[in-house]
Amino acid sequence: YLAHWPEYFIVAEAPGGELMGYIMGKAEGSVAREEWHGHVTALSVAPEFRRLGLAAKLMELLEEISEKKGGFFVDLFVRVSNQVAVNMYKQLGYSVYRTVLEYYSASSGEPDEDAYDMRKALSRDTEKKSVIPLPHPVRPEDIE
Amino acid sequence: ADYLDNGNNKMAIQQADKLLKKHKDLHCAKVLKAIGLQRTGKQDEAYALAQEVAALEPTDDNSLQALTILYREMHRPELVTKLYEAAVKKVPNSEEYHSHLFMAYARVGEYKKMQQAGMALYKIVPKNPYYFWSVMSLIMQSISAQDENLSKTMFLPLAERMVEKMVKEDKIEAEAEVELYYMILERLEKYKEALDVVRGKLGEKLTSELQSRENKCMAMYKKLQRWPECNALSRKLLLKNSDDWQFYITYFDSVFQLIDESWTPPAEEEHSLEGEVHCSVEQAVEFIEERITEESRSSRPLRGPYLAKLELIRRLRHRGCNDEYKLGDPEELMFQYFKKFGDKPCCFTDLKVFVDLLPPSQYTKFIHQLLEVIPLSGAAENEVALPGDIKALQQHLCVVQLSRLLGIYHAMDKKEKLTVVRELMFRYRHGLEFGRSCLKTELQFSDYYCLLAVHLLLDLWLEGEEAAVWQCLTLLEEGLAHSPSNAQFKLLLIRIYCRLGAFEPVAELYSSLDAKHIQHDTIGYLLTRYAESLGHYAAASQSCNFALRFFHSNQKDVS
C-alpha cells in the first residue's frame, strides 16, 4: 500500500506528538466501466481523540484525493454489526450499496460476518449511478 | 500446473512424469515437477532437476516463469538473475527478458547491474520508466555506498545529469520523475535548485499527495533558513487550516528568527516569495488572536489557535519578555480552554503539553478552579458530588488526570491515597450507568477512573505496600468484565501477573487482544519475555510462533 498509494496514507498527530488517527486507501477499478474509484482500506481514531471530527476530516481528505484522481465514487467495507461506524458513514453521505455475505472471516470459533459495501458518489458521477443499491447481496468471490 | 496451484503436489509430480515419458525433454514439465518436489520437501531433488533445465539455458516463457517461482520458493533469488542473464544473451532484443532481469537484480539488491539493465531496456524501447529505473538504481547505489564521498561526488551527480538531460529535452512525463529529481537534489543538498524545481513548471506535476508542493517548499525554506518565506508560507497554510499544528511551530520559529536578525520588510516590493511576512511579536499576537476570534464564532471550534496562544506564551517566557505583551496568565488561558474543551478526552493530552507553564505553588488552586465549573450534583458534606451526564464525567476525568500529572496524589500519605482510591472506584461504578448501552467493542466512559485507581495502588505497591497489588488485580478484572475491549486493562493485567510470576492467565489475555502481524513484534515481548522463565514452555513456543509466522510472511511479501 505504502509503495503503491503513498498519497492515501494520512496520519494525524497531536501537539504532544501522540498519534491521533490514520486512514489508508487506494484507487482501483476500470475507467471505461465507470468503476474507477477511491477505496477506504482502514480508518481508525484513538479513543483519546474521539469526538473531535477527526474521522470526518480524514475521510474528507481521502475524498479530495480521489476527486483529484477523477474517481467516480468512494467506497468502503464495514461490519454489519458495527452500528457506530455505519451511522458515522451515513452521516458523512455514504449509503449502503450492497451486502457482501461472510466477507469477514472470524478470528476464533465465531461465524464469518457480513459486510456492508457503502458508497458515496463523487462529482464525476453526475447522475449518481454508482450508488444505486443492488437488490440482492453478493459473495466475496463476486467482487471485482 | 493446476495441481500445483491447488496444492496437490503429488498429483502434480505424477502428471509431470507422465508428460516426460512422452516428451523427454519438455523443460516446462521438468520444472513443474521440480516445484512439486520442492513443495513436498524434497529440496535436493528439486534443485538438481531445476539445474538440469537451467543449464540448457531455456528461453521459453513457461520454463522461465516456472523456474522463477521455484527459485523464489527456495529463497534463491540469485539463481533467477543467472537464468535471465542467459536468456538475454540468447535473445538480446527481448524487452520482456530484460525487464525480468532487472526485477531479478532488484530482488538481490544488485544496484549497479540494475542500472545497466535499465539502460539496456531503454535502448531497446525508449520508454521513460526504463530510463528512470536506471536513475533510481543510481540513487540506491548512492544510499548503499560505504563511502559517503562517493555518493556525493559520483552517483548522485550522475543521476542528476541524467535527469537534467531529460529536462532539457523536455521529456519529463510522470509525477514520479519529478519526485525523483527532487529527491536527488535534496540528497545533494542543492536546496535552492530543488526549490526552483518545485516552484517551477515541473512542480505542477506533483498532484497526487495533498499539499505536496507546499510541504516540499517549506522543507527547502527551512534548510535554506529563509525565514521570511517560512513565515509567509506557514501563515498562508494556517489561514487554510488553523488546526495544522506543525505550521504554528514554523510560524513562531520564523518570527523569532526574523526578530533576532532584525529583519524588516522591503519598502516597495513583495515581502517574500510567498507573500506577507510577520516579523514582530505584535504581529504574531494579532495573528493568533484573529484565529481565536474566528474559531470562537464557529459551531465546532478547532483547538489549534487556543493552544497556539499558550505556545506563544511559552516562547515569549523563554525569551524573557512575556509581561510586555500581556497575553494573559497561562492558568487563566488553560482554565478557559478547559471550559471550552473539557468534555473531550483530548483535553488532558492537550493541556499536558503546557503544564510546565504553571507555577507549582498554584497547582492545587488550579485544580480547584477547574472542579468548580463542572456541573456535579449538589452533595451533602460527606458525600461525593457526582456528574449528571457523560460530558460532566469526562470533564471530571480530565481534572483527575491532571491531578495525577501535577503530583497532587503523589504528595499524599498512604491513608489519603487509599481514600482517593475508594472515591475513584465509587465514581467508576457510578459512571457505568452512562455506559449501559455501550457495545462490547466500545470502552466504558468511566474506565479511566478504574485505571487511575489501579495506578495509585501500584504506586503504593512499589512503595512497599504488599497488599495493594492484589486489589489492583481485582479492580482490573472488574473493569475488564464491564469493558471487554479495553486493551489498557489487559496490558496492565499481563504486566502485573507476569511480575507476580503467574503466567497462566496471560496467554488468554494476550490472545483476547487480537494482536496481529507487526504487533507480535512490538508487544509480543510481554509474553515471550516471561513465558519461558516461568516454566510455561508450550505457551512460550506458541507465542514465538506467532512472531515467526509474521516475520516469515513479511519476508515473502517484501522480497
* B204-247 confidence digits (pLDDT tens): 999 888 999 999 999 999 999 999 999 999 999 999 999 999 99
- pLDDT of B261 above 70: yes
Q: Are B498 and B487 in contact (CB under 8 A)?
A: no
- pLDDT of B14 above 80: no
pLDDT of residue B382: 67
pLDDT of residue B54: 83
Cell of residue B338, nine digits: 478547559
pLDDT of residue B1: 65
- pLDDT of B559 above 80: no
Cell of residue B250, nine digits: 514554523
Q: Are B83 and B97 in contact (CB under 8 A)?
A: no
SS3 B383: coil
Mean of the per-residue pLDDT values of chain B: 87
SS3 B518: coil
Total count of residues recorded for chain A = 144
- pLDDT of B413 above 70: yes
- pLDDT of B24 above 70: no
| Per-domain boundaries in chain A | 6-131
Closest approach of B55 to chain A, Cα-based (Å): 36
Counted across chains A and B, CB pairs separated by less than 8 A come out at 52
pLDDT of residue B329: 86
- pLDDT of B165 above 90: yes
Taking residues B430-442, report their average pLDDT. 84
| Per-domain boundaries in chain B | 229-328
Give φ, ψ of B111 to 5 degrees: -65, -40
pLDDT of residue A138: 92
CA distances from B37 to A103, B25, B385, B400 (A): 35, 18, 74, 65
SS (H, E, C) A90-106: HHCCCEEEEEEEEEECC
Residue of chain A whose alpha carbon sits nearest to that of B302? A52
- pLDDT of A107 above 70: no
pTM passes above 0.90:
no
Q: Name residue B445's amino acid.
A: F
pLDDT of residue B231: 94
Residue-wise over B408-419: b if at least 16 C-beta within 10 A, else e?
A: bbeeeeeeebbe
Total count of residues recorded for chain B = 559
Within 8 A of B180 by CB-CB distance, chain A residues are none
Give the residue ranges of DSSP H helices in B40-174.
43-55, 61-73, 77-90, 95-108, 111-124, 128-144, 148-150, 156-168
Closest approach of B37 to chain A, Cα-based (Å): 31
Taking residues B51-73, report their average pLDDT. 82
Taking residues B383-403, report their average pLDDT. 90
Within 8 A of B303 by CB-CB distance, chain A residues are 52
pLDDT of residue B520: 81
Q: What burial class does residue B40 get, using C-beta atoms within 10 Å of its C-beta: 0-12 exposed, 13-18 middle, 19+ buried?
A: middle
pLDDT of residue B234: 94
CA distances from B1 to B16, B33, B70 (A): 9, 9, 13
Q: Is B344's Cβ below 8 Å from some Cβ in A?
A: yes
A107 to B441: CB separation less than 8 angstroms, yes or no:
no
Terminal alpha carbon distance of chain A: 18
In the stretch 428-487 of chain B, residues with CB closer than 8 A to chain A read: 439, 441-443
Over residues B86-133, the pLDDT tens digits come to 888 888 888 999 999 999 999 888 999 999 999 999 999 999 999 999
Portion of chain B with pLDDT greater than 90, in percent: 51
Cell of residue B500, nine digits: 507476580
Nearest to B350 among A13, A15, A64 (CB): A15
pLDDT of residue A108: 63
Over residues B538-549, the pLDDT tens digits come to 777 877 888 888
**B298 half-sphere exposure, CB direction, 13 A CA radius:** 12
pLDDT of residue B378: 67
Give φ, ψ of A78 to 5 degrees: -145, 145
CATH topology of domain A6-131: Aminopeptidase (3.40.630)
A15 to B307: CB separation less than 8 angstroms, yes or no:
yes
Over residues A89-99, the pLDDT tens digits come to 999 999 999 99
Higher pLDDT residue, B321 or B473? B473
A47 to B344: CB separation less than 8 angstroms, yes or no:
no
pLDDT of residue B324: 64
- pLDDT of B441 above 90: no
- pLDDT of B21 above 80: no
- pLDDT of B381 above 70: no
Portion of chain A with pLDDT greater than 70, in percent: 97
CA distances from A45 to B276, B348, B365, B444 (A): 36, 17, 34, 16
Give φ, ψ of A126 to 5 degrees: -65, -35
Pairing state between β A95-104 and A73-79: unpaired
The DSSP secondary-structure symbol of B377 reads -
Taking residues A69-97, report their average pLDDT. 94
Higher pLDDT residue, B7 or B376? B376
Pairing state between β A19-28 and A73-79: unpaired
- pLDDT of B12 above 80: no
Cell of residue B286, nine digits: 494579532
Residue found under cell 515437477: B33
What are the DSSP calls for B461-479, one per residue? HHTT-TTHHHHHHHHHHHH
Q: Is B205's Cβ below 8 Å from some Cβ in A?
A: no
* Residue B270: Cβ within 10 Å count: 13
Taking residues B38-48, report their average pLDDT. 80
Q: At A80, is the pLDDT very low, low, confident or very high (cuts 50, 70, 90)?
A: very high
Q: What burial class does residue B230 get, using C-beta atoms within 10 Å of its C-beta: 0-12 exposed, 13-18 middle, 19+ buried?
A: buried
Pairing state between β A73-79 and A113-121: antiparallel
Give CA–CA dist B435/B88, Å, rounded: 68
Within 8 A of A20 by CB-CB distance, chain B residues are 346
pLDDT of residue B383: 74
